[in-house]
A and B are shown apart, each in its own frame.
Chain A
Amino acid sequence: DTEVTQTPKHLVMGMTNKKSLKCEQHMGHRAMYWYKQKAKKPPELMFVYSYEKLSINESVPSRFSPECPNSSLLNLHLHALQPEDSALYLCASLPPLRITSTDTQYFGPGTRLTVL
């Protein structure tokens, strides 16, 4: 099963709200990612968790807080967001290292976030 699921599909929130995005995979993958994608732009890397430890934080504002509770789950906690944070948030995961490596990211469908 190579599926990466993301919930919710759509989220509308006010600037004072607290919400969370959820990503899940059951492939035993070694890394999980959060990307932010604005319209007509490439995905921008936000965070990388490698073996459940945060390995990359691309200078993301603290109003975005990632969490990796276990090897299958990745959350992105949102608080006090700004309208410019409205975007598609993509989760991805990376298979474990093997001799015949298939280092391909598997992407979820994304959560479309609108901040009012």
Chain B
Amino acid sequence: AQSVTQPDIHITVSEGASLELRCNYSYGATPYLFWYVQSPGQGLQLLLKYFSGDTLVQGIKGFEAEFKRSQSSFNLRKPSVHWSDAAEYFCAVGPGNNNDMRFGAGTRLTVKP
């Protein structure tokens, strides 16, 4: 069964510093991978997605992610974090055979002034 793991529950970075959020997947075939962001009290917003092709994908808000098949990873990066990036970040994989989508446990990002 497909699944994703986000090893870091909570990360704190200083404003202006670089950011990397980790995501590892388990999937039998080539996965479709996604990163979503959720601010408190808000719905889910898609940051970026990987289906095939170029392994470095660009998203909104200056985020990018790199698909590494050898490491089963799809880590999210941003070169310079802004205070408004503080939120919960979810990695997801799917759809599977029954169109199911699976989310990781999430990583909460705190940005220090």
- Once A40-B88, A50-B98 are accepted as A-B contacts, the answer to whether A104 and B46 lie under 8 Å apart by CB is yes
- A48 lies within 8 A of B100 (CB): yes
Quick check: is B101 within 8 A (CB to CB) of the other chain? yes
Beta-carbon contact of A105 and B43 below 8 Å? no
| Chain B residues with CB under 8 A of A107 | 43-44
How many residues on A have C-beta within 8 angstroms of the other chain's C-beta atoms?
Answer: 24
Answer whether residue A90 sits at the interface, using C-beta atoms and an 8 A cutoff. Answer: yes
Interface string of A19-55 (1 = CB under 8 A from B): 0000000000011010000001111010010100001
The proximity string for B residues 32-61 relative to A, scoring 1 for CB distances below 8 Å and 0 otherwise, is 101000000011101001010000000000
Say if the beta carbon of A101 comes within 8 Å of chain B. Answer: yes
Encode B77-113 as 1/0 by CB contact (under 8 A) with A.
0000000000010101011001111111110100000
Indicate whether A31 sits within 8 Å of B99 (C-beta atoms), given known contacts A103-B32, A108-B43, A109-B43.
yes
- A42 lies within 8 A of B104 (CB): yes
**Majority DSSP secondary structure for residues of A touching B:** loop
- Does A73 have its Cβ within 8 Å of any Cβ on chain B? no
Please pick, from B42, B43, B95, B108, the residue contacting A103 in the complex, using a CB distance under 8 A: B95
6 more contacts with CB within 8 A, not counting A42-B105, A103-B51, are: A40-B106, A41-B105, A45-B100, A48-B98, A102-B51, A110-B43
Chain A residues packing against B (C-beta within 8 Å): 30-31, 33, 40-43, 45, 48, 50, 55-56, 90, 92, 94, 101-105, 107-110
User: Which B residues are within 8 Å of any A CB, using their own CB?
Assistant: 32, 34, 42-44, 46, 49, 51, 88, 90, 92, 94-95, 98-106, 108
